[in-house]
């Protein structure tokens, strides 16, 4: 008996699609995370560099106030004045650095020259004020043309001094808090530079100052005048 012809096999049934897992997390497209807030950072070294000098100045001013080491005992004006003399003879000289304070409480560095007893010949003092519309107005004071001007416990808070000077028994570089040759109150802050001498003689004196204090100030032949324009002692 002849073999029966083979019938072709039916095409295979395609695989059924996989049943989705309801518990699986859905695919979510990822996006870069937004940057979070950046914490502020202090550069402590820079902070210290900026603040330490201010703290030191404040502390130094506090010490100066406590020790009475500020120069003038009053608020100085906003103008410097000029002083000249043909000669100055002084007994008990001291000089040291300090600060003046103006009405705005701003600090002004000065060099304090203190003399127990001083005599000045041909004294001149001038200050120039500039006014709106009017312009420059000069105030000039002169004294001691014939008889010397006399001052005791004289303090001058200056920013400039010039002349030919001779000192007797001078001490240069002494601690300002240990001065003892000038007036009783002529002392600065501890560790600051100072100098002192038994006597001082200055010819052709010229100085620019913020303030002058004196226990007594005898002005022989005093003359004062105001004029328009700039007329200074030097």
pLDDT of amino acid 26: 52
**108-112-116 Cα angle (round to 5):** 150
- pLDDT tens by residue, the chain, 234 residues: 445 555 555 555 455 455 555 455 555 455 555 554 444 454 545 544 444 454 455 555 555 544 445 577 799 999 999 999 999 999 999 999 999 999 999 999 999 999 999 999 999 999 999 999 999 999 999 999 999 999 999 999 999 999 999 999 999 999 999 999 999 999 999 999 999 999 999 999 999 999 999 999 999 999 999 999 999 999
Q: Do 167 and 199 contact (CB within 8 A), yes or no?
A: yes
pLDDT of amino acid 72: 76
Reduced to 3 states, what is the DSSP secondary structure of residue 181?
A: coil
> Token pair of 221, please?
């032949």
Measure the CA–CA gap between 176 and 174, rounded to whole angstroms.
6
How many Å is the maximal CA-CA distance in the chain? 170
Rounded to two decimals, what is the model's pTM?
0.71
pLDDT of amino acid 34: 52
pLDDT of amino acid 71: 74
pLDDT of amino acid 232: 97
pLDDT of amino acid 191: 95
Centroid of chain to Cα 101 = 11
Centroid of chain to Cα 150 = 34
In sequence order, the β-bridge partners of residue 185 are none
User: Whole-angstrom distance between the N-terminal and C-terminal Cα of the chain?
Assistant: 152
Of the CA atoms within 13 Å of residue 154, those in its CB half-sphere come to: 21
pLDDT of amino acid 3: 53
pLDDT of amino acid 122: 98
Of the candidates 222, 205, 189, which has an alpha carbon nearest to the alpha carbon of residue 115? 205
Of the candidates 176, 172, 206, which has an alpha carbon nearest to the alpha carbon of residue 99? 176
**10-13-15 Cα angle (round to 5):** 160
> Token pair of 120, please?
């000045």
């Amino acid at each position: 008996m002849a073999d029966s012809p083979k019938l072709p096999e039916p095409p295979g049934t395609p695989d059924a699609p996989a049943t989705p897992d309801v518990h699986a997390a859905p695919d979510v497209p990822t996006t870069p995370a937004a940057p979070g807030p950046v914490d502020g950072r202090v550069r402590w070294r820079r902070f210290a560099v900026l603040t330490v000098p201010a703290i030191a100045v404040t502390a130094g001013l506090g010490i100066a106030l406590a020790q009475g080491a500020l120069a003038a005992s009053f608020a100085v004006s906003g103008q410097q004045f000029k002083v000249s003399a043909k000669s100055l003879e002084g007994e008990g000289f001291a000089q040291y650095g300090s600060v003046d304070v103006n009405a705005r409480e701003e600090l002004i560095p000065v060099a304090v020259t203190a003399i127990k007893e001083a005599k000045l010949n041909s004294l001149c003092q001038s200050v120039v004020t500039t006014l709106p519309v009017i312009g420059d107005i000069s105030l000039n004071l002169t004294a001691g043309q014939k008889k010397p001007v006399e001052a005791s416990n004289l303090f001058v808070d200056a920013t400039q001094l010039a002349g030919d000077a001779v000192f007797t028994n001078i001490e240069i570089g002494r601690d300002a808090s240990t001065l003892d040759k000038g007036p009783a109150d002529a002392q600065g802050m501890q560790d600051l530079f100072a100098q002192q001498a038994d006597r001082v003689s200055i010819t052709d004196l010229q100085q620019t100052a913020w303030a002058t204090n004196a226990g007594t100030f005898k002005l022989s032949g005093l003359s004062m005048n105001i004029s328009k324009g700039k007329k200074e002692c030097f």
